[in-house]
A and B are shown apart, each in its own frame.
Chain A
Amino acid sequence: MAYSDKVVDHYSNPRNVGTLDKSTTEVGTGLVGAPECGDVMRLQIKVNPETQVIEDAKFKTFGCGSAIASSSLATEWVKGKTVEEALTIKNTDIVKELALPPVKIHCSVLAEDAIRAAIGDWKKKNGVAETAEAAVAAK
């Protein structure tokens, strides 16, 4: 299978590889996928409590080149966004950016899931309602 230049670039030079301290309240951790399926992504975000801006993001991924590239790209994209902005990132954006073939679309879905799971974890830790709509309703 031929990989797009962008997948190869992310695979060869993955961005934001690493681990954030998951015990701190500013850090949200998303662990998605399963070893039996051949891909597990862990994406972590560090959120500024004042501005709700994602100031740092790290990932580690067990998976094929496309899974590694999708999660590497996801960390790049969430950084600098507020958590609500980050929730608008769609797997189809990742597919387009990385030119993923149909057989690799699940890698992008997993990356979107990882973003959502990390944000969900952060919200849970910080007592923030699950979605903006829910937050509005609560008022």
Chain B
Amino acid sequence: MSLDITTSGTVKLPIYMDYHATTPMDPRVLEAMLPYFTGKFGNAASRNHSFGWEAEEAVEKARTQIAQLIGASAKEIIFTSGATESNNLAIKGIAEMYRERGNHIITQVTEHKAVLDTCKRLEKSGYRVTYLPVNADGLVDVEDIKRAIDDKTILVSIMAANNEIGVVQPVAEIGKLCHEKNVIFHTDAVQAVGKVPIDVNAMNIDVLSLTAHKIYGPKGVGALYVRRRNPRVQISEQINGGGHERGMRSGTLNVPGIVGLGEACEIAGKEMVEESARLTKLRDRLKAKLEAAIDYVHVNGSMEHHLPGNLNMSFVYVEGESLLMGINDVAVSSGSACTSATLEPSYVLKALGLGDDVAHSSIRFGLGRFTTEAEVDYVAAKVIDVVLKLRELSPLYEMVKEGIDLSKIEWAAH
């Protein structure tokens, strides 16, 4: 731990409340991984000695642990370097494999860039991609998907839960529709796996991406679930060299990472119900405190279909980066342009039909396994304090309070 950590009352500062970005490793996961760095260092592909067998056994155990969390069978799990690779492998691999059948892919505008950028790349090589809009609550309309499917559609890729606004998409309905229409259904379930129940059979999911570091496992390891029956989904390999992972993903397996992913999945499966209830309560506590003390707050995304640990709020008339600066002992994210590399406000918030000004004012709170009630109370008090201070500084807040309609002003955009 770094030395600049101080304590304030019962909380340790800084407070981490950005669990959608990444999670700390659960000590139990680390403990499971450690032997595989040193004593049990074998290559899982070494078939002719005990070092290899030991590694292979560990990998197969992890495969089972992962499969159990999502209701799959172990043989349907392919290991990757993380969710970006899983999404690339799924979408490019399916597009290439089913090129004869069609060239049309359906996705939505609020997907992670690992999906959107992959689709854009495919558009350059002759594929047609439909980017569906979402409703004001962040949910995709299943009827829109139905209408978009045509005889050239080979793949629908819709995320299970959104990384910014935490909304959980109607995955089961989408899966049912895709199976009826004989279209492959891929879901980027990075934020959902281990947080909300996922069952690939009950939900008719054909291909699913997940990663370890969002569920208290290590960075640099993920998995792709690929359905083997009803229907059997085939994927063209994107990395060549040795034919590991049923030929779909070559490369020596990251055994310690895979062991960590497996352990993380097992813990998540055992503790999901309890953890989800606890986080929902904490999240609602934070939301209630903020809403009670601050006017002009806007909750982004459906709260009805929502991840337990997510809260995305806009504190209108206060710019997000200035708010982050004021709460600098709390680690959260903002949809403000000033905090992004592109200087554009969050495309996810814009997709909800929010004005850029509301997107600029948004903060994403991500609560997780190690978040405490004392931390929530500290963060709420701090955010309230800083928002009220910045509202005193805000010409927009003053104008609105005076009854001026900001939309009627001719702003000089720059």
Contacts and interface: CB of A to CB of B under 8 A. Distances in A.
Interface in A5-42: 8, 11, 14, 17, 19, 31-42
Contact of A36 (B357, B395, B397): B357
Contacts of B395: 31, 40-42, 60-62
Contact of A63 (B322, B355, B356, B412): B322
A112 B351 CA distance: 34
A17 B406 contact: no
Given A62-B317, A64-B319, A103-B343, A35 B392 contact: no
B319 A62 contact: yes
B337 interface: yes
Interface string B376-396: 000000000000000011111
The interface size bin for chain B is: 20 to 34
A80 interface: no
A77 interface: no
A57 interface: no
A74 interface: no
A27 to B, nearest CB: 15
B292 interface: no
A60 B406 contact: no
B356 A11 contact: no
Contacts of B413: 34, 36-37
A63 B414 contact: no
Interface in B129-155: none
Nearest to B356: A36
Contacts of A67: 319, 322
Nearest to A65: B325
A64 B325 contact: yes
A62 B396 contact: yes
B411 interface: yes
A35 B319 CA distance: 9
B398 A35 contact: no
A40 B411 contact: yes
Contact of A17 (B317, B321, B392, B411): B392
Contact of B394 (A62, A103, A113): A62
A60 B414 contact: no
Contacts of B392: 17
B411 A33 contact: yes
A35 B414 contact: no
A33 to B, nearest CB: 6
Contacts of A41: 395
A118 interface: no
B396 A35 contact: yes
Nearest to B317: A62
A106 interface: yes
Contacts of A47: none
B319 A63 contact: yes
Given A60-B395, A65-B325, A34 B336 contact: no
B175 interface: no
B367 to A, nearest CB: 25
Nearest to A110: B414
A62 B338 CA distance: 13
A38 B398 contact: no
Interface in B341-400: 343, 345, 355-357, 360, 392-398
A87 to B, nearest CB: 19
A83 interface: no
A14 B386 CA distance: 13
A87 B280 CA distance: 55
Which 8 residue pairs across A and B have the least CB separation, nearest first?
A34-B411, A35-B357, A36-B356, A42-B395, A60-B395, A64-B321, A38-B360, A65-B325
